[in-house]
């Protein structure tokens, strides 16, 4: 009754109210952007609540899409990723009990949801929350923020919105350049106190949840499953609902054109754990898969090394103290504790053991190999029945593993070269170019189908099932390509009832460690400065973990300094005295 303006189309004054609180003409059914001022004094005495909205809660846009926020898109990405992990055998509790709580805590800490609007916050602040009063006034709008939880009894998100002050400007400025409401605001770089969500951070969330439940999946395996396509990451926005239109600046956020890097995901995981103010994680004990003793056993099998090496890796782990619970368990926010890379640490332990036994100086390991080869030739019949098996030959192992490694590396390079970065769903950066993009996409698909029929090309085979092992070695092979049962008698000698190495010498990768906070590395690795045998072993584990050899080299230097700490301190003191 208080709204007396004439309709812009029929000039009549006959207004009604929609469910969303907007005025519509009963004569020509024209809906205006004007909404009714609501006055409610039932729940608080002497208070007044005003809700003025100009199109923020529009369910349907002109192109058939609905208004959505960036955090809703990331939540759908997390939902797809955790469902893929559940399909791989991860415990079902990780989704609702762990990852969902982490995500809610992040939304609250970043003031995107589960929070009250900060006083004086402007529209430029990174906030993608919705007013609880607006949610109640428009019950037909789907709650995408509720899709992550499987529990229906918890209700919708109770959030507050910081866009209400200038919502008309936001809608107008973002509708052209992005499909989301806050796409342009999300890319602002002046958010120092908030950890902005990115696509690599979705994997950090997943790894954080995996680490909490102590699942037998390392970070290197998680990233490898992503590359192999078992976990959605590349072009994951294809699975968004049809009403969530993705265009413009949204593509810079969700469209990924590179593989996730180990270092970035790992560092973001620790930043995220500190940002969420999480408590101490469950202890990593000797029975846990992430313990170095367990991971060393796995990597020894995959690297086709003798089983007897596991006794030596356990001794190194115990001697250096890297198997202690306090060293391995994640304590977010504690700067005094070291950030442990469990898979890289286990690989570095094996490298140190190989240096202890074979020296890896491009000379001593070949001398031992010749000695073991002669013993195996002279005692062929004895070795067949000897409980320790034949003597381990480093040269033969090098040839077998290198041949298999070259084949697998070539396959990996070919798969990366053939990978189609473009997704099946067409992308467009503006609404004006949408029709052109769709026509070009349809033309490309038609040409590909025609050329495929003419050339008789075979369709791509289905991706193989995921496996924890990339290189497999069977002891049943008669060609002698499996070295699991081989003996280390050729490199060991017995002293006082204990087996020790024949050669007491050892060379250090570096005498003094660098400051990791300054340059990011404990030591610098250059291939030309180290023996080829050492570089080959680093390259082998670099391939298995899909990381740079320098990461393993850093952990090797750290273990060496823990192992020879007393001798290094004496040497440094001696050098200081000589300088004086």
Alpha helices in 288-361 (DSSP H): 292-302, 309-320, 325-328, 342-358
Q: What is the pLDDT of residues 63-88, one digit of tens each?
A: 556 788 889 999 999 999 999 999 99
Would you say residue 186 lies in a domain? no
Q: What is the pLDDT of residues 210-243, one digit of tens each?
A: 999 999 999 999 999 999 989 999 888 888 887 8
Asked if pLDDT for residue 343 goes beyond 90, the answer is: yes
Would you say residue 257 lies in a domain? no
**Strand-pair category, 31-35 with 498-501:** unpaired
Asked if pLDDT for residue 49 goes beyond 60, the answer is: no
Confidence of residue 335 (pLDDT cuts 50, 70, 90): confident
Q: Which two tokens stand for residue 557?
A: 């230097």
Q: What is the domain extent for residue 312?
A: 292-413+473-564
Would you say residue 333 lies in a domain? yes
Please tell me the distance from the alpha carbon of residue 336 to that of residue 320, in angstroms, as a whole number: 18
Instruction: Tell which residue, 384, 320, 371, has the closest CA to residue 488.
Output: 371
Counted domains in the chain: 2
Q: What is the mean pLDDT of residues 30-37?
A: 69
Would you say residue 63 lies in a domain? no
Asked if pLDDT for residue 312 goes beyond 90, the answer is: yes
Buried b (16+ CB within 10 A) or exposed e, 206-245: bbbbbbbbbbebbbbbbbbbbbeebbbbbbbbeebeebbb
Would you say residue 2 lies in a domain? yes
Would you say residue 119 lies in a domain? no
Q: What is the pLDDT of residues 423-470, one digit of tens each?
A: 766 666 556 666 777 777 778 777 777 777 776 655 555 667 888 888
For residue 565, CA distances in Å to 313, 430, 490, 560 come to 18, 61, 29, 8
Asked if pLDDT for residue 148 goes beyond 50, the answer is: no
What pLDDT score does 418 carry? 78
The answer for residues whose C-beta is within 8 angstroms of residue 308's C-beta and 6 or more apart is 487, 488
Q: What is the pLDDT of residues 375-405, one digit of tens each?
A: 888 877 554 444 568 899 999 999 999 999 9
Asked if pLDDT for residue 55 goes beyond 70, the answer is: no
Would you say residue 241 lies in a domain? no
Would you say residue 493 lies in a domain? yes
DSSP state for residue 32 in the 8-state scheme? E
Please tell me the distance from the alpha carbon of residue 527 to that of residue 485, in angstroms, as a whole number: 32
DSSP state for residue 94 in the 8-state scheme? I
Q: What is the pLDDT of residues 536-580, one digit of tens each?
A: 999 999 999 999 999 999 999 999 999 987 666 655 444 443 333
Instruction: Tell which residue, 110, 105, 488, has the closest CA to residue 313.
Output: 488
């Amino acid at each position: 009754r208080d709204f007396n303006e004439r309709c812009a189309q029929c000039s009549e004054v006959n207004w009604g109210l929609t469910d969303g609180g907007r005025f519509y003409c009963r004569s020509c059914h024209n809906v205006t952007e004007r909404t009714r001022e609501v006055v409610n004094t039932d729940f608080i005495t002497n208070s007044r609540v005003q809700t003025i909205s100009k199109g923020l809660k529009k369910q349907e846009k002109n192109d058939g899409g609905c208004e959505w926020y960036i955090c809703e898109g990331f939540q759908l990405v997390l939902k797809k990723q955790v469902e893929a992990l559940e399909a791989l055998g991860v415990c079902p509790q990780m989704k609702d009990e762990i990852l969902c709580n982490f995500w809610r805590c992040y939304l609250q800490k970043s003031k995107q949801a589960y929070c009250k609007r900060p006083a004086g916050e402007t529209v430029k602040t990174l906030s993608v929350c919705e007013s609880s009063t607006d949610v109640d006034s428009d019950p037909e709008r789907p709650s995408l923020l509720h899709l992550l939880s499987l529990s229906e009894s918890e209700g919708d998100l109770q959030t507050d919105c910081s866009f209400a002050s200038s919502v008309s400007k936001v809608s107008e400025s973002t509708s052209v350049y992005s499909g989301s409401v806050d796409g342009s605001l999300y890319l602002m770089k002046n958010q120092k106190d908030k950890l902005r969500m990115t696509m690599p951070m979705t994997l950090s969330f997943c790894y954080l949840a995996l680490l909490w439940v102590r699942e037998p999946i390392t970070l290197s395996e998680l990233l490898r499953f992503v590359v192999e396509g078992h976990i959605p990451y590349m072009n994951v926005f294809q699975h968004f609902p049809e009403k969530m239109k993705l265009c413009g600046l949204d593509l810079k956020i969700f469209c990924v054109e590179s593989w996730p890097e180990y270092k970035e995901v790992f560092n973001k995981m620790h930043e995220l754990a500190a940002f969420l103010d999480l408590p101490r994680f469950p202890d990593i004990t000797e029975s846990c898969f992430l313990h170095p003793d367990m991971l060393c056993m796995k990597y020894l099998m995959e690297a086709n090394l003798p089983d007897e090496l596991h006794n030596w890796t356990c001794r190194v782990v115990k001697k250096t103290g890297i198997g202690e619970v306090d060293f391995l368990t994640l304590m977010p926010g504690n700067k005094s504790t070291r950030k442990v890379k469990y898979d890289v640490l286990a690989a570095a332990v094996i490298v140190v053991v190989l240096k202890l036994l074979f020296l890896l100086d491009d000379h001593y390991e070949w001398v031992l190999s010749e000695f073991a080869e002669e013993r195996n030739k002279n005692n062929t019949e004895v070795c067949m029945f000897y409980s320790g098996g034949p003597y381990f030959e480093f040269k033969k192992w090098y040839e077998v593993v290198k041949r298999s490694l070259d084949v697998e590396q070539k396959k990996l390079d070919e798969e990366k070269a053939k990978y189609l970065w473009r997704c099946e769903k067409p992308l467009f950066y503006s609404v004006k170019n949408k029709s052109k993009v769709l026509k070009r996409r349809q033309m490309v698909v038609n040409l590909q189908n025609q050329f495929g029929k003419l050339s008789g090309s075979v369709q791509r085979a289905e991706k193989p099932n995921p496996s924890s092992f990339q290189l497999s070695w069977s002891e049943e092979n008669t060609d002698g390509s499996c070295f699991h049962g081989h003996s280390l008698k050729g490199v060991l000698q017995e002293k006082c009832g204990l087996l020790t190495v024949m050669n007491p010498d050892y060379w250090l990768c570096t005498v003094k460690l660098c400051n990791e906070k300054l340059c990011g590395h404990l030591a610098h690795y250059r291939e030309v400065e180290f023996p080829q045998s050492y570089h080959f072993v680093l390259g082998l584990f670099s391939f298995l973990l899909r990381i740079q050899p320098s990461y393993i080299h850093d952990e090797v230097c750290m273990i060496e300094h823990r192992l020879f700490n007393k001798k290094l301190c004496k040497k440094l003191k001696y050098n200081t005295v000589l300088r004086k």
